[in-house]
Amino acid sequence: MAVLEREPILTARTYEPNFDRRDYSKNGIENKDQLDRYTTRQVETLLGERLNVLLSKNRYEIKNNVVYGENMNEPFLNVMKRGRDYRRKIGGDQRIDSKREQAEIDGFSMMQSILCNPNTLVNTIMISISPPGDEGSLYRHNFYDVFTLKKEEGERFIEARRYSSALTKNEYREKLESFYPKIYGKDVSLADDYFLSHPVIVSNGSLSNPDSVHAYFHKNHEYMEERDFEQVLKVCSPFRKRYIRALSENPRDVDTHSLILDAILNKADEEADNIRHSGDSERSVEDSRIPNGDKRFWTSQNDIFVRTYDSLSLDREIEFLGNQPVRQVATGCGSSSGFSKNNSGARSNGSVFSGAFSIADFGTSQEWFTCPKCGYAADGPIGNKCPGCNLTKEDYAEESGEPVCD
């Protein structure tokens, strides 16, 4: 029987700049506002991974020593297991991510058993590492979750912060070795499923909060503070809105979409550079690439000239920044390099993409089959036949005249 979706699995979707906005319903998205929010979130995630920032902050409730998602009426582990079962149903157990998905459930279960224990001290911190999967994996992001047991108004809960990272698996191992040398010693596996199934308690007294954990993991690696990232998003907001408008008005115009995305990446880098070097003197130069030979302020970073904010119109700024090389940087998804032009001048998709973050992405939005004949409501995969009345999807299609669904 078909699996029905109550809400789209937005975070699990691969990000394509030429996303078909003329028929977004076929992508599981119900309306344009929802699609715009999806695009906004994807662009912000893209920038967040590029600049190594806090990607999200969530609250898990604790009920009867079990983790519940905020405003959820079922244990979060149920959501994860439902996502695993869904992935298993459509792909089998031999797919590349099978071990990883089970490892994520095992690791979350371990975290739950520790932080939901009534005897665990408030402010206990646990870290779960999620490196990208191997080639062909749906899970391409590189991040880590910091879980902190907190208490407010007598109620214990878990704050979960997710940070993007560009650390290699070996760098993760070296960082974790100081906490648990037996778990993350030099002879341990560096497979993604090993990291996910072995979350650790932070035993280093100097790491007393998530921000200090983030600073520790990114020692000798560039990262951006949350407040600075908000400034980057604010500066890039007009570009992002123009990008959304271009997708709506001309969904097949890949060159324009790519131009604006390159402009967004360069604008974000420009603002990040301004934040890093605030107070540095800038030099005014004449540049023939600006229409009418206007004088503008420039900074030079990695042999790329990037213009700081001035009074040029947004369209002219997009045209200029979108035609500049995009600095390649290591990101959670491997690298972010924008879009390149081929010999004919057409743009090709660079390394700007996102995949699923978690097996839970496939469980939060699932509404399993309800039989249209007998009303049987499934709570998981049931195969091709209704357990209540033995109706098959082919039988239903023949009776109803509706097409057979996958």
Centre a 10 Å sphere on the Cβ of residue 52 and count the other Cβ atoms it contains.
26
How far apart, in whole angstroms, are the C-alpha atoms of residue 60 and residue 108?
A: 12
How far apart, in whole angstroms, are the C-alpha atoms of residue 142 and residue 357?
A: 9
Q: What's the confidence (pLDDT) of residue 265?
A: 92
216 token code pair: 């520790």
* Top-confidence residue, 226 or 92: 226
3-state secondary structure of 234: helix
pLDDT band at residue 8 using 50, 70 and 90 as cut-offs: very low
Average pLDDT, the chain: 76
* Top-confidence residue, 176 or 304: 176
Q: What's the confidence (pLDDT) of residue 220?
A: 63
Indicate if the pLDDT at residue 134 is higher than 50: yes
338 token code pair: 């924008």
How far apart, in whole angstroms, are the C-alpha atoms of residue 328 and residue 203?
A: 36
CA 367, 36, 353, 215 dihedral sign is negative
Task: Specify the range with the lowest mean pLDDT, choosing from 115-119, 207-211, 279-283, 392-396.
Answer: 279-283
User: What is the DSSP track for 123-152?
Assistant: T-EEEEEE---STT-S----EEEEEEEEEE
Report if pTM > 0.85.
no
Indicate if the pLDDT at residue 311 is higher than 50: no
Q: How many Cα atoms within 13 Å fall on the side-chain side of residue 117?
A: 10
At residue 279, what are phi and psi to the nearest 5 degrees? 100, -20
User: What is the DSSP track for 43-81?
Assistant: HHHHHHHHHT-EEEEEEEEEETTEEEETT-SSBHHHHHH
298 token code pair: 């420039």
Centre a 10 Å sphere on the Cβ of residue 134 and count the other Cβ atoms it contains.
13
Of 127, 148, 332, nearest in space to 216 by CA? 127
* Top-confidence residue, 280 or 354: 354
Q: How does pLDDT run across 41-70, given as a tens digit for each residue?
A: 888 888 888 888 888 889 999 999 999 988
* Top-confidence residue, 308 or 189: 189
